[in-house]
C-alpha cells in the first residue's frame, strides 16, 4: 500500500502539531515555566501519527512517560495537555497528574504513565474488554525499546496471545533507554523477533516513515478488529532531544545523531506530499503556522490557568 | 431474611456468582480458577460450571499480568474479580496494585476508576513454608486508594464480597485458609455488608480485643477463657481494615480503657501498629493501660508444624497479653 | 555422542535413587507422616540426572518447588532431605524450610523454592559470581513450563544474555503447570524457541532420555565454562503423579498419561544398559535394592529425628 | 579524625568506593550507573571511572532481575550494591526482596545469607508525579530479615553506607533526593556508623520529635521555631529504622513525656505507626499526652507544585502538632 488513499496530509498535520507542541514545551521549560522534567516526543511523530490514524474515537490507547504524541494524535486537546504539564487546574487532571499521568477518558486515552513497561498489562486488559464486550474495538499499547525487557512485556504478550486479544503492541525503538543503547540492553537486533515467543506476528517498520507505520498498523488493526488477535510492531525511530528536557544526550555519537536527523519524519512526509502533488508548499506552511498558533494559544491558556488550591489536595482518592 | 448453613468458601463463591448473574461485566481470572483447577484455587466452586471460560478465565502463572490486566479491564468498563493463589505472591504484582490500580482515580482527577477485587488467600494453616503462609495486609494498608476487606464469617464472606464487587475502587479481599471450611448461617439473595463497619462480636466491659479474619475466632476463644477468670472482654471484628471503623474501636476503648490488638501477620509495622497509633493519638485520654499487640514474631513462617504452632498467635497468648494489663 | 564414555550406570543409579526417594515420601505422606503437600519429581528423573551428571561439586544448582530430584542429583543427603520434608531438626534446615526450602550450601545447592519462577534471577546472579570471580564454574537453573511465562524468565535471560553469563536455564516441560496445560498457558509449542528473544542457543530434548539430556547439557555447560555464555534447554518430560501429593490429576487424559508412562526414563535407561551390555540384570536390581535400603534408612532417620523446640523459633533471622 | 566538606551524594559514593577498594567482591549494578548515565542515577559519581564496567554494571530496565540476581550473587559470595532509580519501583521487585533476600538466612537455617545493599532514592522533591516521589520504607519494615537505613547527613551517608555494605544481611538504603546536594563535614578514611543507633540531633526537654532522612532537618527547623515560643524540643534522628533504637526513643520520651513522629510517607501504616505503637505499649507510663504523627496525607503524590507543597510535611505542620499537646 502506498500513500494514495491515505489522509497523508492529515498525518502530516498530526506530526507537525506534535512537534510544535513539544518544542513549545521545551521553550517554556528553558524559560523556567514548566515544573519538573518532560520527556519529549520530537522525532518520533510518525509512530503516533501513523498508528493512530487507523483508530476510531472508541478505540483505546495506552501510553508511556513519553506520551504527548500519543495523546495529541488520539485527539487530545493541546491546551488541556499543556496546562497539565504546567500543573494547572485547566489541565486534564487538574494538575494532579502532570506530564506522565495525563488521560482523556472520553477519547479512550488511558494515560501517559510513569512506570516504564506499565502500559503493557493495562493495554492487555483493555483488549480483553474489547473482546469480552464483543466489540470490534482495539487496544493500542505504546512502549519503548527499554520497556521491552521488562517482565510485563513477556507476561502481557503471553496472555494476549493465548486469549487472542485485539491488542497492538507498538514498540518505539529509539535505540536508547535513557543513556543505555539497545546493544547494551538486549542481545538481539530486532525487538519484533520476540513476537515468535508468543506465536504472534512481529513486524519491523521504519518508524520515521509515516506511511510505512500506517500500513503496518492498518494490517494489524484490521486483523485485530476481525478477531485475528495480537500483533507486535517495532518502529525504529529516533528522539531528537535528550531523554528528558535536562539531558544534553552527550552519550550519543553526534555523527550518528545527525544521520538520524536527516530522516526526520516530518520533512520526509512533507517531501512526499509535494512530490506526489498531494499538497503545495503553501499548504504545508499553513499547517505549520496553524500549529504554531494553536500551541501558542495552549501556552497562553496554561499560563493563565489557575494553580490548584490546597482544598483540592484531598479530593478524589476514591471513586464514590 | 431466608438463610442457610454454608462454608465460608461457598458463601464467598455465592457472592461472586450472584454478582455475575446480576452484572455481565463481572468476570473472574486467576490461576486454576477453571473447571480442572478448583482443587487448588480458593474460588471456582461451581462458578466455572455456570459461567464458563469466558467469564471464569484461567491464566498462566503471571501474577503481574493478572493484576495488571485487571486494571486496564476495570478502567474501561469490566469488573474483574482476580485472585492470587497465595497472598505471599503480592510482591509480584505490588507495582500494578499500588502504582496503577490504587492511584488511577486520584491521579487522573476522577476520569478513570479501577473497580476490581483482588482475592488473596492468606495465613499459615497447613505447614507450607515461608512462601505459602503469609498475611501481608499491611503492605496494602500503606497504599492510599485501596480498600482492604478481611471477613471472619461465612455471612460476611458473602455480604462483603458483593459489596466489594460493587465498589468502584480496587479492593483487596482476604480469605484466610483456616476459615474456608468454617460454616455459618448465610442470608440468601442480595445480601450486602457495608465496608468500614466493624461488628462487636462479643460485648464486654473490661478490655477491647480488636481483630479481623481468622484472629476473630481466636479472640473469641480468648474471651471465653478470660470470662472464666472474671475478665469481660469485648471483641471487635473489623471486617474491613480500609476503610477503618475508628468509631467502633474508640467507643469500645472509651468503655473498657484497655486495648489489645491481635493479628497473624508479623509484628513490626503490621496493621496492628496503625490501630495502636490511631488510638494512642485520638483515644489517648481513654486509655488506662498500655496497648498490647499479639502478633506473629518477626520471622519468616517456619515450615515444621512443631514451629508453626508457636508462630501463629493463639488464644493463650491473647489471654496472657490481656492479663498483663488487667 | 552416544551412551559410550558416559557413566550411564551412574545416571541410572541417580534416577533410581530419586524415584525411590519420592515414592517413599508418597507412601509416608499417605500414611500421614508428612506434614503438608509435596511436589514429587517421579517421572522427570532424566532431567536432573542427565544435566547434573555434567556438574562438579563447585558448580551451582538453583531449584524449584519440585526440587528433590535436583538436590539428590547434586549430591544431597537423602536422610537430611527427608528429615526436612518431615519437619525435623535432622533436616537440612532443621525443619524451618520444608520441602520447598531445602538447601545445601556445601554442595552449591541454592535451595528448592516456593515461588514459581524465582529460580531464574537467582541463578542469573550466581552465574555472575562464577564469571566475576573468573572461575569456570556454571550455574544451572531449573524451572517449569509454567514458570517460563513469568516475567522473571524474560528479565533473567535478557540479563544473562547481554552479560554472557555461564548460566544454563533448564526448562522442565512436563506439559502442565498444576492443571493448566502448556497449550492453555502459551501460544507456541517449544519453549526453547524463546531463546531467540535473547540471541542465545535454545535446544529441545527428549527429557525422558537421560543420554539426550546429558549430551545437550554437556554441550551447553562446556560452552558456558569456556566463556561462551548462556543456553536455554527445554526437556520434554512427564510427571507421574499429580501436581502435588493430594492431586489425583483427573484433568489428564488417561490414555495420554499411559502413553507417557511408557517412556519412563528409568525403564528406558535400564533397557539401554542391558542392550549395550553395560550392566547385567542383577546389577540393575542391586541398584534398586540399594536405593530402597538407603531410603528406608532416610525415613527411619527422619522419624527418629527430634522435632524442633520452641526455643528455635526465633533463632537465625539475621546473619551475624 | 580528618574530615572534609562534601555533599550527601558524594559522601555515599565515597563510602561505596572505599568498600570497593577494600573488598573486591563488592560491585554495583543498576539502571544508568555507568559512565553515561550518571546524570540520572543517584550512584556513580566517579565510581564508574575508577572501577569500570566489571564492577559498576549498567543494567536494562529490569528491577525484578536487578534485585533477584543480587540475591543469587550475594548468596554465593559477592556483595552487590544495587539500586532502584526511584523507590517508587519497589513494588516491581518486592517479591525478590521479601520472599528471597529477606528470608534466605532464616529459612535455610543459616546456610546462606544475602549480604546486599539496595539503594533507593526516595521523596517528593521536584514535581515528578505519583510514580517518582514516594517514600515506601514501611513496606520493607514489615519484612522480617531486612534492615532499613535512612541517613539524614552526609557523614551518616558515608558511615552508614560502609556499615551497610559490610553487613551480612540485605539492607535497604534510602537516599532522599532533597538531601543529595546537602553538604556536611565527612570523616575521611574507614568511617563507620553502626546500624540501630539513633542520634539525638538536638537536645530538649519538652517534647520528643522522632524522624529520619529528610524529615530530620525539617524537625530541626520546627524545633527552632518552637524554641522561640519557649518549647524545647528534642530531635531524634533514627538513622536506621530496622534495627530500631527503641532505647533512644523511650529514654527521650521518659524525659519529655511527649512524642511527635514526622515522616514524609503517607500516613496509614507508615513507619510512624510502628513507633507510636511501640511507645504506646512499652512507654505508655511515660506518656503525658497523645502521640501525634505528622505525615503526608493518604493520597498519591500530586504533581503540580501548587499541591506538592501541601503534601510534604513541613516545619509549620510539625510545630502545629506539637502545639496541640503543649
Ligand atoms: C519501572 C521503571 N524503571 C525505570 C524508570 C526510569 N526511566 C524512565 S524512562 C526510562 C527509559 C525508558 O526507555 P524506553 O522504554 O526505551 O523509552 P524511551 O524513553 O526511549 O522513549 C527509565 C529507565 C521508570 N520510570 N520506570
Ligand atoms: C509465583 C507463584 N505463583 C503460583 C504458585 C502456585 N504454584 C505452585 S507450583 C505451580 C505450577 C508450576 O508449574 P510449572 O512451572 O510447570 O512446574 P511443575 O509444577 O509442572 O513442575 C503453581 C501455579 C507459586 N508457587 N508461585
Ligand atoms: Mg527508548
Ligand atoms: Mg510443568
Instruction: Assign D175 to helix, strand or coil.
Output: strand
In whole angstroms, how far apart are CA B230 and each of B7, B291, D310? 33, 20, 51
Mean pLDDT of D120-125: 95
- Tell whether ligand 1 has an atom less than 6 A from the beta carbon of residue A114: yes
Closest in A95, A179, A184 to D303, CB measured: A95
pLDDT at D38: 61
Burial (CB < 10 A; 0-12, 13-18, 19+), residue D14, is buried
pLDDT classification of B47: cutoffs 50, 70, 90: confident
pLDDT digits (tens, 9 = 90+) for C55-98: 999 999 999 999 999 999 999 999 999 999 999 999 999 999 99
pLDDT at B1: 75
Instruction: For chain D, give every domain's residue range.
Output: 3-187, 199-324
pLDDT digits (tens, 9 = 90+) for B59-74: 999 999 999 999 999 9
pLDDT classification of C2: cutoffs 50, 70, 90: very low
DSSP state of B88: G
Paired sense of beta strands C60-62 and B147-149, if any:
unpaired
| C43 within domain boundaries | yes
pLDDT at D177: 95
Does B3-187 match B199-324 in CATH topology? Answer: yes
The closest alpha carbon to B53, from A128, A68, C241, belongs to A128
> What is the spatial distance between Cα C134 and Cα A272, in angstroms, rounded to a whole number?
56
Is residue A188 within 8 Å of residue A220, measured between CB atoms? no
Is residue B85 within 8 Å of residue B93, measured between CB atoms? no
Interface probe for D, chosen from B63, B129, B136, B280 (most Cβ of D below 10 Å), is: B280
Closest in D89, D142, D293 to B270, CB measured: D142
* Residue B42 pLDDT exceeds 60: no
The closest alpha carbon to C173, from C260, C53, C62, belongs to C260
* Residue C249 pLDDT exceeds 60: yes
pLDDT digits (tens, 9 = 90+) for D96-106: 999 999 999 99
Which residue is closest in CA terms to ligand 1's atom 8?
Answer: A116
Residue C238 CA, ligand 4 centroid: distance in Å? 8
pLDDT classification of A6: cutoffs 50, 70, 90: confident
Query: Domain containing A297 — which CATH number?
Result: 3.40.50.970
pLDDT at D178: 96
* Residue A2 pLDDT exceeds 70: no
pLDDT at D34: 82
Is residue D53 within 8 Å of residue D82, measured between CB atoms? no
* Residue A168 pLDDT exceeds 50: yes
pLDDT at D44: 55
pLDDT at B41: 55
pLDDT digits (tens, 9 = 90+) for C185-234: 999 999 999 999 999 999 999 999 999 999 999 999 999 999 999 999 99
Closest in C110, C162, C319 to D72, CB measured: C110
pLDDT digits (tens, 9 = 90+) for A117-139: 999 999 999 999 999 999 999 99
The tally of domains found in chain C comes to 1
pLDDT at B36: 66
| C306 within domain boundaries | no
Min Cα–Cα distance to chain A from D170, Å: 23
Catalytic residue among B36, B105, B132, B142: B132
pLDDT at A1: 41
- Enumerate residues 6+ apart whose C-beta is below 8 A from D64: A150, A151, C121, C151, C152, C155, D92, D93, D95, D96
> What is the spatial distance between Cα A234 and Cα A229, in angstroms, rounded to a whole number?
17
The closest alpha carbon to D210, from D160, D171, D163, D251, belongs to D251
- Enumerate residues 6+ apart whose C-beta is below 8 A from C258: none
pLDDT digits (tens, 9 = 90+) for C274-314: 999 999 999 999 999 999 999 999 999 999 999 999 999 99
Is C306 an interface residue toward D (CB < 8 Å)? Answer: no
pLDDT at C177: 96
| A307 within domain boundaries | no
* Residue B174 pLDDT exceeds 80: yes
Q: What pTM does this model have?
A: 0.98
pLDDT digits (tens, 9 = 90+) for A81-105: 999 999 999 999 999 999 999 999 9
- The shares of helix, strand and coil residues in chain D, as percent rounded to the nearest 5, are 40, 20, 35
List strand residue ranges (DSSP E) for chain D, in order. 3-7, 26-30, 56-58, 79-84, 117-122, 147-149, 171-176, 183-187, 199-202, 207-211, 233-237, 240-242, 259-266, 292-296
Paired sense of beta strands B171-176 and B117-122, if any:
parallel
| A316 within domain boundaries | no
Ligand nearest to the CA of C149: 2
Mean pLDDT of B151-168: 98
pLDDT classification of D42: cutoffs 50, 70, 90: low
> What is the spatial distance between Cα D161 and Cα D10, in angstroms, rounded to a whole number?
12
| C314 within domain boundaries | no
pLDDT classification of D189: cutoffs 50, 70, 90: very high
Burial (CB < 10 A; 0-12, 13-18, 19+), residue D166, is middle
Residues spanned by the domain of C188:
5-301
Ligand nearest to the CA of C143: 2
pLDDT at C1: 40
Lowest mean pLDDT among B8-22, D40-54, D152-166, D301-315: D40-54
Would you put residue C172 in left (φ > 0), alpha (ψ -120 to 50) or beta?
beta
pLDDT classification of C4: cutoffs 50, 70, 90: low
Mean pLDDT (chain B) is: 96
Instruction: Assign A74 to helix, strand or coil.
Output: coil
b/e sequence C156-193, b meaning 16+ C-beta within 10 Å: bbbbbbbbbbbbbbbbbbbbbbbbbbbebbbbbebbbb
DSSP state of D231: -
DSSP state of C144: E
| A167 within domain boundaries | yes
- Tell whether ligand 2 has an atom less than 6 A from the beta carbon of residue C41: no
The three grid cell numbers given for residue B150, joined into one nine-digit string: 478481611
Distinct helix (H) and strand (E) counts, chain B: 12, 14
CATH number for D3-187 (one of 3.40.50.970, 3.90.1280.10, 3.30.930.10, 3.40.190.10): it is 3.40.50.970
* Residue D41 pLDDT exceeds 70: no
> What is the spatial distance between Cα C2 and Cα C211, in angstroms, rounded to a whole number?
7
pLDDT digits (tens, 9 = 90+) for A223-257: 999 999 999 999 999 999 999 999 999 999 999 99
- Enumerate residues 6+ apart whose C-beta is below 8 A from A222: none
| Contact residues on chain A for D295, CB-CB shorter than 8 A | none
The three grid cell numbers given for residue D290, joined into one nine-digit string: 497523645
pLDDT classification of B270: cutoffs 50, 70, 90: very high
* Residue C3 pLDDT exceeds 50: no
> What is the spatial distance between Cα B308 and Cα B132, in angstroms, rounded to a whole number?
12
Is A140 an interface residue toward B (CB < 8 Å)? Answer: no
Instruction: Assign B237 to helix, strand or coil.
Output: strand
Pocket test for ligand 1, best of A65, A70, A151, A183 (most atoms within 8 A of CB): A65
Is C132 in Cβ contact with D78 (below 8 Å)?
yes
Paired sense of beta strands B26-30 and B56-58, if any:
parallel
The verdict on whether B69 is a catalytic residue reads no
Is residue A243 within 8 Å of residue A178, measured between CB atoms? yes
DSSP state of B12: H
Check: CATH 3.40.720.10 for B199-324?
no
Min Cα–Cα distance to chain D from C123, Å: 6
Mean pLDDT (chain C) is: 97
Amino acid at each position: 500500500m502506498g500513500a494514495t488513499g491515505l489522509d497523508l496530509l492529515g498525518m502530516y498535520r498530526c506530526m507537525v502539531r506534535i512537534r510544535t507542541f513539544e518544542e513549545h514545551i521545551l521553550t517554556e521549560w528553558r524559560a523556567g515555566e514548566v515544573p519538573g522534567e518532560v520527556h519529549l516526543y520530537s522525532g518520533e511523530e510518525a509512530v503516533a501519527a501513523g498508528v493512530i490514524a487507523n483508530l476510531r474515537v472508541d478505540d483505546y490507547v495506552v501510553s508511556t512517560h513519553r506520551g504527548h504524541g500519543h495523546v495529541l494524535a488520539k485527539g487530545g486537546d493541546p491546551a488541556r495537555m499543556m496546562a497539565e504539564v504546567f500543573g494547572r487546574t485547566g489541565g486534564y487532571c487538574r494538575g494532579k497528574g502532570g506530564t506522565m499521568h495525563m488521560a482523556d477518558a472520553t477519547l479512550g486515552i488511558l494515560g501517559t504513565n510513569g512506570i516504564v513497561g506499565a502500559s503493557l498489562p493495562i493495554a492487555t486488559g483493555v483488549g480483553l474488554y474489547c473482546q469480552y464486550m464483543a466489540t470490534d474495538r482495539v487496544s493500542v499499547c505504546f512502549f519503548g525499546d527499554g520497556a521491552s525487557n521488562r517482565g510485563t512485556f513477556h507476561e502481557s504478550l503471553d496472555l494476549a496471545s493465548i486469549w487472542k486479544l485485539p491488542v497492538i503492541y507498538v514498540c518505539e525503538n529509539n535505540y536508547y533507554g535513557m543513556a543505555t543503547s539497545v546493544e547494551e540492553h538486549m542481545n538481539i537486533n530486532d525487538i519484533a523477533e520476540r513476537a515468535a515467543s508468543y506465536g504472534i506476528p512481529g513486524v519491523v517498520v521504519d518508524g520515521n516513515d509515516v506511511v510505512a507505520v500506517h500500513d503496518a498498523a492498518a494490517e494489524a488493526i484490521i486483523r485485530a478488529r476481525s478477531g485475528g488477535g495480537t500483533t507486535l510492531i517495532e518502529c525504529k525511530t529516533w528522539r531528537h532531544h535528550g531523554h528528558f528536557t535536562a539531558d544534553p544526550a552527550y552519550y550519543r555519537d553526534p555523527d550518528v545523531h545527525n544521520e538520524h536527523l536527516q530522516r526526520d519524519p516530518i520533512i520526509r512526509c512533507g517531501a512526499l506530499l509535494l512530490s506526489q502533488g498531494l499538497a503545495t508548499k503553501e499548504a504545508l506552511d499553513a499547517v505549520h503556522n496553524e500549529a504554531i498558533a494553536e500551541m501558542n494559544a495552549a501556552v497562553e491558556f496554561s499560563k493563565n490557568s489557575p494553580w490548584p488550591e490546597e482544598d483540592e489536595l484531598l479530593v478524589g482518592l476514591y471513586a464514590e | 431474611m431466608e438463610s442457610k448453613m454454608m462454608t465460608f468458601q461457598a458463601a464467598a463463591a455465592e457472592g461472586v456468582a450472584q454478582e455475575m448473574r446480576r452484572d455481565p461485566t463481572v468476570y473472574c481470572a486467576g490461576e486454576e480458577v477453571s473447571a480442572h483447577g478448583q482443587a487448588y484455587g480458593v474460588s471456582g466452586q461451581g462458578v466455572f460450571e455456570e459461567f464458563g471460560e469466558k467469564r471464569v478465565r484461567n491464566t498462566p502463572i503471571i501474577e503481574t499480568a493478572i493484576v495488571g490486566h485487571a486494571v486496564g479491564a476495570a478502567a474501561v468498563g469490566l469488573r474483574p474479580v482476580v485472585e492470587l493463589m497465595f497472598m505471599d505472591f503480592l510482591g509480584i504484582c505490588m507495582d500494578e496494585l499500588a502504582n496503577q490500580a490504587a492511584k488511577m482515580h486520584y491521579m487522573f482527577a476522577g476520569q478513570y476508576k479501577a473497580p476490581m477485587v483482588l482475592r488473596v488467600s492468606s495465613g499459615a494453616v497447613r505447614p507450607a513454608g515461608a512462601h505459602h503462609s503469609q498475611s501481608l495486609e499491611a503492605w496494602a494498608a500503606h497504599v492510599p486508594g485501596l480498600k482492604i476487606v478481611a471477613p471472619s464469617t461465612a455471612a460476611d464472606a458473602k455480604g462483603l464480597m458483593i459489596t466489594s464487587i460493587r465498589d468502584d475502587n480496587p479492593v483487596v479481599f482476604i480469605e484466610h485458609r483456616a476459615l474456608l471450611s468454617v460454616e455459618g448461617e448465610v442470608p440468601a439473595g442480595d445480601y450486602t455488608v457495608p465496608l468500614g463497619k466493624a461488628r462487636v462480636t462479643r460485648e464486654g466491659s473490661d478490655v477491647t480485643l480488636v481483630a479481623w479474619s481468622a484472629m476473630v475466632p481466636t479472640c473469641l476463644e480468648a474471651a471465653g477463657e478470660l470470662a472464666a477468670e472474671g475478665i469481660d472482654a469485648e471483641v471487635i471484628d473489623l471486617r474491613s481494615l480500609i476503610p477503618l471503623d475508628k468509631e467502633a474501636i474508640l467507643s469500645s476503648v472509651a468503655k473498657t480503657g484497655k486495648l489489645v490488638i491481635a493479628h497473624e501477620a508479623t509484628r513490626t509495622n503490621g496493621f496492628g501498629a496503625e490501630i495502636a497509633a490511631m488510638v494512642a493519638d485520638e483515644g489517648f485520654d481513654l486509655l488506662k493501660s498500655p496497648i498490647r499487640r499479639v502478633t506473629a514474631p518477626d520471622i519468616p513462617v517456619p515450615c515444621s508444624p512443631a514451629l508453626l504452632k508457636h508462630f501463629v498467635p493463639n488464644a493463650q497468648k491473647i489471654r496472657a497479653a490481656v492479663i498483663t494489663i488487667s
